[in-house]
């Protein structure tokens, strides 16, 4: 019985300590080329659109001249989210050996962009 009480007390202390520890918000670096097709630089201008911005994540929009620069930044780890065309996505996977790219959204009307994110390894 005393062992059970001390185990419960230790568990309660651990839970209180874990509750007080807060992690730093995740930093998402998002690429964009032009504003009409990519809303990354203006999407978070209204606080109502992103309630948890700054608490659980932050967004840093980065401007690029084209998808080849985005592919280089994805490969070096300087970028988290990029809009790539279907052909650029294929070149990134095949030629740059970035097999950990993931498609998170597509636009099918003009077949122009695929939003991709490089997964992080723990």
Has residue 71 got a pLDDT over 70? yes
d(CA 30, CA 65): 14
Domain ranges of the chain: 24-118
Q: Model pTM?
A: 0.66
Interval 82-121: pLDDT, tens:
888 778 888 888 888 888 888 777 665 555 444 455 554 4
d(CA 118, CA 75): 9
Q: Which CATH architecture is the domain 24-118 placed in?
A: 3-Layer(aba) Sandwich (3.40)
Query: Could you tell me what percent of the chain has a pLDDT over 90?
Result: 4
């Amino acid at each position: 019985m005393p062992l059970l009480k001390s185990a419960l007390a230790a568990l309660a202390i651990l839970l209180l300590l874990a509750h007080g520890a807060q992690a730093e918000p995740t930093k998402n670096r998002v690429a964009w080329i032009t504003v009409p097709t990519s809303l990354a630089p203006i999407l978070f201008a209204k606080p109502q659109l992103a309630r948890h911005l700054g608490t659980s994540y932050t967004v840093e929009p980065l401007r690029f001249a084209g998808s080849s620069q985005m592919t280089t930044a994805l490969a070096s780890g300087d970028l988290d989210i990029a809009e790539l065309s279907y052909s650029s996505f294929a070149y990134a996977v095949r030629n740059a050996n970035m097999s950990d790219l993931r498609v998170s959204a597509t636009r099918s009307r003009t077949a122009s962009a695929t939003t991709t994110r490089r997964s992080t390894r723990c």
